[in-house]
Structure 1
Amino acid sequence: MNSSSAAVLFLFLLFSTNPFSLSATAAKEPVLDTDGEELRSGAPYYIQSAIQGAGGLELVPLITGIPCPKIVAQSRSTNGMPVYFNPVDSISTNTTVYLSTDVNIRFTGFDYYCRSSNTWRVAPYSTLPRHWWIANGGEIVIPGPQTLLTWFKIEKIGAAYKLTFCPTVCESCVTLCNDIGKYIYQNQVLLGLTKEDASHFVFAKAPQAIEQVVEKHSE
């Protein structure tokens, strides 16, 4: 068994006790931004905490002083970094992002220092501390068993939204489901898979701008 297969199997054993109830026949419902407009692929957004003033999402090193790898984290004071959503069916002319639909999420730019894309993925299990972190380094490629760790979903939770890891891009693969929550580590608020306490987010339009290279070595 290769390392990728082992990682997927371990994810299933670890999180399969908390499945989501999915309805394949439910009508598609669009995700709305803070202006009440439909979320669109190809447009930049800030993913922000639903708690007003709590900040948006960005990339930071897992360990202070060691630049790589970088983990998705919540900024304490800024809007964070803009992201783009790439739904699994984005080849269609409909650019709306829907609830419960597999999407790739990527921050703008490319991390040349770590030689890594800024597309989100579930990183290999970390023993320091013991979590499955949400990191950069994913790929936007054809959906299937080799790309399971790069697909996420947006679900409604109260008046806000939550992000989940529950890919359905591979019919023959085990369905893995878990929420994404926040953890405090080394005075940073990092995102990782959780069995409970899903974080609440909203999506705010970000200015259209030329993508910039991320070369931040440390916070």
Structure 2
Amino acid sequence: MKTLILLLLFSTISLSIAQPSPDPVLDIDGNLVRSGTEYYILPVFRGRGGGVTLASTRNETCPQDVVQEGQEVDSGLPLTFTPVDPKKGVIRESTDLNIVFSAASICFQSNVWNLEEYEGELVVSARGVSGNPSQETLANWFKIEKLDDDYKLVFCPTVCDFCRPVCGDIGVTITENGIRRLVISEVPFKVMFRKA
């Protein structure tokens, strides 16, 4: 009986040790992307707009949504990444994280990215809550995943074991006013990260 218990204990420990951490996310200089450090999210493809920023995309000034700058020379606003475990210093692929703009908004809002429905689309806005991974904050958790040699942003939170969120890549849709709004899309927005 002792042999069986020891074997089960060893098997359990081996399985928990054998799972490697996901690969770290790298910036355009090949350095680790770190929690709490400011970065710009930039498009990989030149000539297709600039970095991400905040803008009014609705019929009123506030709230502001996450959009892509129209000109590639515009880097957008700096932002930080905070992993689900805030003690972790390195951002890793396919792990839940909050994305927060560092700059102040003209609107009274948190600047924490979240996903909300607007006019039939799932739009990335900036009215989320940082931290507190749970069912209540499900819309505030994003992931960075590898896409070829670059990255894409994904909404598919795993902070709630029993929740079944809509999952999808973050892409860009162009509104009637020519604003490049970030939304759930079948075509992912291929991005890279540059330290601010």
TM-score, normalising length: structure 1:
0.76
Of 152, 159, 172, 2:142 maps to 152
Q: Verify the 8 A CA contact 1:110 1:116 in the aligned structure 2.
A: no
User: Which runs of structure 2 are paired with 1:44-123 in the superposition (5 Å)?
Assistant: 44-52=38-46, 54-63=49-58, 66-77=60-71, 78-90=74-86, 92=87, 94-111=88-105, 113-123=106-116
Instruction: Tell whether 2:99 aligns with 1:136.
Output: no
Counterpart CA distance in 1 for 2:153 and 2:111 is 17
Partner of 1:9: none
SS of 2:154's equivalent in the other structure is strand
**Runs of 5+ unmatched residues, structure 2:** 1-18
1:26 is displaced (CA, Å) by 5.5
Partner of 1:40: 34
1:109 is displaced (CA, Å) by 3.1
Q: Quick check: which one's strand share is greater?
A: 1
TM-score, normalising length: structure 2:
0.84
Number of aligned residues: 175
1:137-191 Cα shifts (integer Å, max 9, x gaps): 1111310000000000000001210000000011122243111110000111110
> Among the aligned pairs, what percent are the same residue?
38
Once the two structures are overlaid, the 10-residue window that deviates more, 29-38 or 52-61, is 52-61
Counterpart CA distance in 2 for 1:100 and 1:29 is 9
Question: Which has the larger Rg?
Answer: 2
Counterpart CA distance in 1 for 2:37 and 2:181 is 25
Q: Which runs of 4+ in 1 moved over 6 A?
A: none
1:28 is displaced (CA, Å) by 1.5
User: Which runs of structure 2 are paired with 1:117-196 in the superposition (5 Å)?
Assistant: 117-123=110-116, 125-127=117-119, 130-185=120-175, 186-194=177-185, 196=186
Counterpart CA distance in 1 for 2:132 and 2:58 is 32
1:4-39 Cα shifts (integer Å, max 9, x gaps): xxxxxxxxxxxxxxxxxxxxx454100000000010
1:63 is displaced (CA, Å) by 3.0
Q: Which has the higher contact order (CA 8 A, sep 6+)?
A: 1
**Runs of 5+ unmatched residues, structure 1:** 1-24, 207-219
Letter in 1 for 2:113: W
SS of 2:127's equivalent in the other structure is strand
Letter in 1 for 2:34: R
Partner of 2:9: none
SS of 1:67's equivalent in the other structure is coil
